[in-house]
Structure 1
Amino acid sequence: MKPLRPVVLNTLLALLVAVMAMASLWWGESSINVPAALADWWAGAHSIGAVIMGQLRLPRMLLALMVGGTLGLSGAVLQGYLRNPLADPGLLGVSGGAALGAVCVFYTGLFQIASALLPLGGLAGALVTAMLLVALVGRGGALVLLLAGAAVSSFTAALTALVLNLVPSPYATFEIMHWLMGSLTDRTLNDVLLALPGVVAGCALLMGCGRALDALTMGEDVAQSLGFRLGGVRGVQMRVVVGTALAVGSCVAVSGAIGFVGLVVPHLLRPLAGHRPSRLMVPAFLGGAALLLAADLAVRLMAGRTELQLGVVTALVGAPVFFHRVILFRKRNMLSC
């Protein structure tokens, strides 16, 4: 497939995101006049439309944009840095650390004191995980980062299972498991504001890695021959780890664990964007946002007695795409033999 020009691809994806965002604001159980509801909400009125828009639909749409875009971008950056098409944000253990932090807040009952403590606990877990990851990696390269991420991910998963095993109440266990499956339901603008600083800072760090990732595509030796010193290569690794921790940790802290977006979106868009990591970053952000908005709309359309969790829907959509990519890779390897 011939790659599209970056301006054309980004424009098409931005239009898709805009359409999906408007559909997210329009769709709901109650029929409201969306422009009037937005105007009332902005003016501080307390009409029914303003309440539905400000407390339900607008936060849900904004979080879908932020979370989906962040997962898509971080997946593209990690795949470019690790030169591994199977890399995704969960590979570094940051998602697991954020989930562990939130689960600990559940376990201790702190979330009953203030609802903001739940996402704050998740963000703290992500930052502690990032510090542990940086300490483990030290001056190692991409392979060391990959191995350290796998170790940290397994460790946080084990600790999360331990906490679940120690929870005395089955109702608390259900609440924890429900949160871990990922959702944008019942989130407020406070959750958006809580996640926004980490998302902006983390995405800015990741976006600044584009030129270095292009150079690292052929390996560290080639990157150094192109003018990147060894210290600069190590600095890229630090920016990737810290940026992923800030952005993904902030998202998981408010939405729970949502998988496969960071893995699938770069795969789908790479043939259209070309194989330079820097050209894939913006399309991956927009594609991730569009995918999560579409998945959230599907959740609402399929809503019955119990609304499906968003993480379940993304897994059901992402896993078949992933299997398809694995089959394609296997065929290519067979043909090259």
Structure 2
Amino acid sequence: MLNAILGLACLVLTAASLLVGPADLDLRSSVDGLFAGGDAAAMIIMQEIRLPRALLALTIGVSLGLAGAVLQGLLRNPLAEPGLIGVTSSASFGAVAIFYTGLAGASLYALPAGALAGAALSVVLLLAIAARNGATLTLILAGVALTSLTGALTSLILNLSPNPFASYEIIFWLLGSLRDRSMSHVWLALPLMALGWLLLAASARALDALSLGEEAASSLGIRLSGTRLLVVLGTALAVGAGTAVAGAIGFIGLVVPHLVRPFTDRLPSSLLVPSALGGGALLLGADIAARLVVPTRELNVGVLTALIGAPFFLWLVVRARRELF
């Protein structure tokens, strides 16, 4: 029932996303333009501007929600989210490095390629560090260190950038936005995200076993090192690909699993699909709000998700503190 409700919400919000925009198109013109039956202007607006944006909001939201649920199950930490292991910040650094070197204008794929390279580098470093010690704590500490390092390197590039316009573009991209994306971005990111979803979904049984503790999971035949590899690779592919085309969008992976968990049996595996659908619905809603909150100037969707997620994160910290004491 929960999955059906969230799936319906995704469909409704996807349709709403297709109908919202500065162009004054009525419902009939929008539908005709979407299915290649309208005039040329409506077709361009619907097929080249609004459709890619709606698809990316849905799929990136799915990636963030699913990765957040899996990481919270793997690390057994309610504050875990995709940014915790450094994938988002590493992908952002890769894109910023492309901006700084002036290669961003060489090709449509230069910026996403840089972000994906940054995400891949984070995976290599994480696995190299965590390989010697299989403890979950090692993975968390390595992710925190990697996040701090790539964040510092990104700040250094901003500080050294001689061109103020380039600095503005970098900052704008780091805030996260789905504006001006095309179907080329969809076809670039979607296969990688889909592969990441499959890897993350494959960890479901292991996550249920880990809810009993690492020793119990090992006694049930779960290979903890293999599970961590699946999760890290899946998160890097799903979240890294999304960051590569839309910039850094945070907190969805933190917020959504907590919102849907009370409506499930609380097993990690039963949380995966609702979190994925909830993430898609939340990012679609945030992207619609980004276009409507300030009609004269569109907000970056990453700003809105941070405004939603940061207070929620503080509430989780306060609640955890109360439970401890």
Residue correspondence of structure 1 range 293-332 to structure 2 within 5 A: 293-332=284-323
Shift of 1:94: 0.7
Contact 2:36 2:43 in 1 (8 A): no
In structure 2, the partner of 1:189 is 183
- The one-letter code matched in structure 1 to 2:171 is M
Matched, 1:130 2:116: no
In structure 2, the partner of 1:3 is none
- The one-letter code matched in structure 2 to 1:326 is V
Matched, 1:292 2:283: yes
Percent of aligned positions with the same letter in both sequences? 51
Matched, 1:76 2:77: no
Give the Cα–Cα distance (whole angstroms) in 2 for the partners of residues 34 and 187 of structure 1. 22
Deviates further, 290-299 or 315-324: 315-324
In structure 2, the partner of 1:264 is 255
In structure 2, the partner of 1:5 is none
Residue correspondence of structure 1 range 1-337 to structure 2 within 5 A: 8-34=1-27, 37-43=30-36, 47-139=40-132, 140-228=134-222, 232-334=223-325
- The one-letter code matched in structure 1 to 2:189 is A
Contact 1:34 1:49 in 2 (8 A): no
Give the Cα–Cα distance (whole angstroms) in 1 for the partners of residues 82 and 152 of structure 2. 18
Deviates further, 168-177 or 36-45: 36-45
Q: Which structure 1 residue ranges, 5 or more long, are not aligned?
A: 1-7
Shift of 1:304: 3.8
Give the Cα–Cα distance (whole angstroms) in 2 for the partners of residues 55 and 303 of structure 1. 23
Name the CA shift for 1:155/1:164 in 2 (closer, same or farther; >3 Å).
same
Shift of 1:265: 0.6
Shift of 1:32: 2.5
Shift of 1:165: 1.4
State TM-score, norm by structure 2: 0.95
Shift of 1:267: 1.0
Contact 1:74 1:88 in 2 (8 A): yes
State TM-score, norm by structure 1: 0.92
In structure 2, the partner of 1:4 is none
Shift of 1:247: 0.8
Contact 1:64 1:184 in 2 (8 A): yes
Give the Cα–Cα distance (whole angstroms) in 2 for the partners of residues 44 and 177 of structure 1. 39
Across the two proteins, how many residue pairs are aligned to each other? Answer: 324
Give the Cα–Cα distance (whole angstroms) in 2 for the partners of residues 280 and 311 of structure 1. 24
Give the Cα–Cα distance (whole angstroms) in 2 for the partners of residues 186 and 26 of structure 1. 16
Contact 2:67 2:200 in 1 (8 A): yes
Q: Which structure 2 residue ranges, 5 or more long, are not aligned?
A: none
Aligned Cα root-mean-square deviation (Å) = 1.6
Shift of 1:114: 1.2
Contact 2:19 2:30 in 1 (8 A): no
Give the Cα–Cα distance (whole angstroms) in 2 for the partners of residues 95 and 260 of structure 1. 11
- CA offset digits 1:35-83 (Å, max 9, x no partner): 6545555549762111100121101100000111100100000010000
